[in-house]
Amino acid sequence: MKQYKSTKCYLSIDCRTTLNPTLFVGRVIYKIRQNVPVTEQTFFVLDKSVLEVSKENKNIFWEDVFKNNAIKTVETNLKGTVGIEDLKAGIYYICGVRRTHFETRVWNVRIDLKPGENCLVLDDNNGAEI
């Protein structure tokens, strides 16, 4: 009997960012670097890069590009993680915008999903500060 490999893909995303708050103690200023999970953040799964889609749809806000072209929409939990099931193997882009008092960060990260479990870390290294 032949065994067939599953063609279903599962994507696990872990999203973290580094905060640099300022702590004042007396007259001394400390910069504290904290690696924190990005919680309750919406991410969009697209089959094209946001840059490619935005060329086709000029004068549209990033969030509208995400929403209008998303294959799936997911939200991270309180640990900054989320799992996405039932994707076919192929190339996808994981996109999202995170706004804080300190910065706005955009992710448009390409991932080539293979059958089985796939992992992606979204952090300061693959997100752009705008």
Please count the helices (runs of H) and the strands (runs of E) in the chain. Answer: 2, 11
Query: What domains sit in the chain, N to C, each tagged with a CATH number?
Result: 8-129 (2.60.40.1120)
Instruction: Give the C-alpha separation, 39 to 25, whole Å.
Output: 29
pLDDT of res. 79: 87
pLDDT of res. 2: 39
Residue ranges of the chain with pLDDT lower than 70? Answer: 1-9, 18-34, 57-60, 62
pLDDT of res. 7: 56
Mapping DSSP to helix (H, G, I), strand (E, B) and coil, where does residue 121 land?
strand
pLDDT of res. 3: 40
Largest CA distance in the chain: 75
pLDDT tens, residue by residue, 92-118: 999 988 887 777 888 899 999 988 888
pLDDT of res. 94: 92
pTM exceeds 0.75, yes or no: yes
